[in-house]
């Protein structure tokens, strides 16, 4: 994130503000403020068409609720007539200039919040629906993160004003675009991670880091994929795939029930199923639960499917993708246990000759093409090329016994491959492909020495924006830390990479037991 000042799009037309006299500008304000759209004013202009066009552009920019058009008088003079748009025109365009893209893209910096919670706060402060926001992927709460967000027809200036009231969040780098962001529309993520109080043999530590860089790690979905609550998100996903809407609602409202300020609301819901009363007790920070309760208020439990639609689509998809990821993790464990870290005949690889742009496009559209390894082609590939499918109704499975592994796991949850082609398209899983082993990209690391356990050992993007630098004596400290930087493709988890180095549990429950 490089700035917090609103930036208009590059193709914005040049506006000549001096074309309007203060007298004409006052008259236009009066027309704009008038509730009636019958009042209009006429302004004489020159015969030059380019000058008239510049005038129309100026009206659109300074008075987007007005419309202007050129007329010719009886004596042949050109005049511009300006009047207020009809209510239907205002609703249709929302007073949004026609030259401007409908979506404002911006960078969101956040601390100690996942993307859904952060977007919930933005929607509250802006008084717009959370569904008006879109992003390419969800960023974890247990990190300081920066990501691109898009929102429908909210001005850069209005977004920028939020920086005065946001805590541990910042928005900036605004542009207007014709299209919103879409889930999966990114290559990946860049990580900067500090491992504190690192002990043990220096040579062993160095070998572990080199092994991660050169050989990679098993590409499991991390624990974040399954939520940090007592009820994992894949349980919600299973309920949705079974079309058991009531169960899904109870599970979602129960996700944070262990937290003190949520327990009262959860107990009230369990006893009464009264969405209105429960909403009065549900904390404002529980944006997903509150959106769901508002959906129940409108549709009732008899139409629970539509009530669930009040939750942003990305979040609802996250639940079924969580279940899909659980199945993949179980299958890849069997694959590695059965065949080890080498390609075998019948494995799948992505077809060659795809550009990086093709890869991103196919990921979004789920049209990746794969081929089966044969005795003739197996020597052309390594384990880093092999993929396994995430279960879906439109994927190819390896030709060895792994297809039966998928069926066995799904059957254990009373789910079939046919059920993944859900009648509610938001919950339909066409499937995709994921590499078994992943190597970090551009991985570097350095070792730091320190004494004070509370001081930061790296700088954030916000620190850089504010001109702060890291003040640290890296030679005199008694404690050692490793600072790593690397990139991973989307949906690959840094926690799984770190597990190869630390050989410890990366779950939140275990990490909170550590002292440093």
CA distance 87 to 399: 61
Residue 231 lies in a domain: no
Domain extent for 118: 103-177
Whether residue 88 sits in one domain with residue 26: yes
Q: Which CATH number characterizes residue 52's domain?
A: 3.30.1370.50
Task: Check whether residue 320 and residue 303 sit in a common domain.
Answer: no
For residue 117, give the CATH number of its domain. Answer: 3.30.70.3160
**Within this chain, do residues 150 and 168 fall inside the same structural domain, yes or no?**
yes
At 506, give phi and psi (nearest 5°). Answer: -105, 10
Classify residue 234 as exposed, middle or buried by CB count within 10 Å of its CB (0-12, 13-18, 19+): buried
DSSP state of 255: T
Which amino acids are annotated catalytic? 140
For residue 501, how far is the Cα from the chain centroid? 28
Residue after which a domain boundary falls, among 437, 457, 484 = 437
- 461 and 433 in a common domain: no
Q: Is residue 1 part of a domain?
A: no
CA distances from 55 to 18, 68, 278, 432, 498 (A): 10, 9, 54, 52, 60
Same domain, 433 and 326: yes
11-34: burial string, b at 16+ Cβ within 10 Å, e else = eeeeeeeebbeeeeeebbeebbee
- Is residue 412 situated within a structural domain? yes
Q: Are residues 370 and 464 in the same domain?
A: no
The angle subtended at Cα 145 by Cα 464 and Cα 180, nearest 5°, is: 110
Q: Evaluate whether 45 touches 79 at the Cβ level (below 8 Å).
A: yes
Q: Are residues 75 and 123 in the same domain?
A: no
Q: Are residues 430 and 341 in the same domain?
A: yes
Q: How many domains does the chain have?
A: 5
Residue 78 lies in a domain: yes
Determine the Cα–Cα distance for residues 150 and 136; give it in Å rounded to an integer: 9
Q: 353: pLDDT confidence band, cut at 50, 70 and 90?
A: low
321 and 390 in a single domain? The answer is: yes
CATH at 379: 3.30.2350.20
User: Above 60 in pLDDT, residue 317?
Assistant: yes
3-state secondary structure 158-199: HHHHHHHCCCCEEEEEEEEECCCCCCCCCCEEEEEEEECCCC
Angstrom distance (rounded) from CA 275 to CA 292: 9
Quick check: is 183 in a domain? no
Q: Which of 514, 429, 516, 506 is nearest to 142 (CA)?
A: 506
For 430-448, write each residue's pLDDT tens digit: 999 999 999 999 999 998 8
pLDDT of residue 82: 85
CA–CA distances in Å: residue 140 to residues 2, 144, 263, 455, 494: 22, 9, 24, 23, 11
Q: Give a yes or no: residue 402 inside a domain.
A: yes
Q: Say if 228 falls within a structural domain.
A: no
Lowest mean pLDDT among 5-9, 199-203, 454-458, 507-511: 5-9
Q: Based on the domain organization, do 345 and 419 belong to the same domain?
A: yes
Nearest-angstrom CA–CA distance, 150 and 134: 5
Where does a domain end: 283, 311, 339? 311
Q: Are residues 443 and 485 in the same domain?
A: yes
Best mean pLDDT range from 77-81, 90-94, 509-513: 77-81
Query: Is residue 21 over pLDDT 90?
Result: no
Q: State the average pLDDT over residues 463-483.
A: 81
Among 414, 437, 460, the domain-final residue is 437
Kindly report the average pLDDT of the chain as a whole number.
85
Phi first, then psi, for residue 483 (nearest 5°) are -105, 120
Burial string for 435-459 (b: 16+ CB within 10 Å, else e) reads bbbbbbeebebeebebeeeeeeeee
pLDDT band at 77; cut points 50, 70, 90 = confident
Task: For residue 2, tell me if it sits in a domain.
Answer: no
Looking at the structure, tell me whether residues 202 and 295 fall in a common domain. Answer: no
Confidence of residue 365 (pLDDT cuts 50, 70, 90): very low
């Amino acid at each position: 994130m490089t700035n917090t000042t609103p930036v208009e799009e590059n193709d914005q037309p040049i506006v000549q503000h001096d074309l309007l006299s203060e007298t004409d500008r006052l008259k236009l304000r009066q027309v704009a403020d008038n509730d009636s759209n019958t009042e209009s004013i006429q302004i004489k202009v020159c015969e030059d068409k380019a000058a008239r066009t510049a005038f129309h552009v100026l009206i659109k920019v300074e008075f987007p609720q007005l419309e202007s058009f050129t007329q010719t008088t009886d004596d042949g003079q050109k005049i511009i007539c300006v009047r207020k748009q009809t209510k239907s025109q205002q609703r249709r365009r929302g007073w949004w200039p026609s030259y401007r893209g409908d979506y404002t893209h911006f960078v969101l910096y956040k601390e100690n919040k996942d993307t859904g919670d952060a977007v919930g706060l933005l929607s509250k402060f802006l008084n717009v629906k959370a569904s008006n926001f879109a992003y390419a992927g969800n960023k974890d709460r247990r990190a300081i993160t920066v990501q691109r967000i898009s929102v429908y027809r909210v001005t850069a200036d209005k977004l920028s004003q939020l920086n005065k009231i946001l805590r541990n969040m910042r928005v900036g780098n605004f542009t207007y675009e014709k299209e919103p962001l879409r889930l999966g529309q990114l290559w990946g993520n860049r990580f900067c991670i500090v491992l504190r109080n690192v002990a043990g043999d220096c040579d062993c530590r160095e070998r572990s880091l080199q092994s991660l860089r050169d050989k990679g790690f098993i590409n499991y979905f991390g624990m974040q994929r399954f939520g940090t609550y007592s009820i994992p998100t894949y349980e919600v996903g299973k309920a949705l795939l079974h079309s058991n809407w009531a169960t899904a609602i109870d599970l979602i409202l129960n996700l944070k029930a262990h937290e003190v300020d949520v327990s009262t609301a959860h107990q009230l819901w369990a006893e009464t199923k009264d969405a209105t009363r429960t909403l009065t007790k549900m904390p404002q920070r529980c944006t997903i639960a509150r959106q769901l309760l508002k959906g129940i208020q409108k549709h009732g439990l008899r139409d629970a499917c539509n009530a669930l639609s009040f939750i942003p689509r990305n979040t609802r998809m996250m639940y079924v993708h969580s279940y899909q990821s659980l199945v993949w993790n179980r299958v890849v464990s069997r694959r590695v246990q059965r065949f080890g870290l080498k390609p075998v005949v019948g494995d799948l690889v992505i077809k060659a000759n795809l550009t990086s742009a093709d890869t991103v496009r196919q990921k979004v559209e789920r049209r990746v093409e794969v081929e089966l390894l044969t005795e003739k082609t197996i020597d052309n590939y390594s384990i880093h090329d092999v993929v396994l499918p995430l279960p879906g109704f439109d994927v190819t499975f390896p030709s060895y016994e792994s297809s039966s592994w998928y069926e066995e796991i799904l059957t254990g949850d009373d789910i079939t491959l046919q059920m993944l082609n859900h009648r509610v398209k938001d919950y339909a899983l066409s499937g995709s492909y994921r590499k078994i082993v992943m190597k970090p990209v551009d991985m570097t690391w350095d070792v730091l020495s320190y004494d004070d356990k509370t001081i930061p050992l790296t700088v954030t993007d916000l620190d850089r924006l504010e001109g702060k630098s890291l003040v640290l004596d890296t030679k005199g400290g008694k404690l050692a830390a490793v600072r790593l930087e690397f990139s991973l493709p989307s949906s690959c988890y840094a926690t799984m990479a770190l597990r190869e180095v630390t050989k410890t549990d990366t779950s939140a429950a275990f990490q909170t037991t550590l002292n440093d």
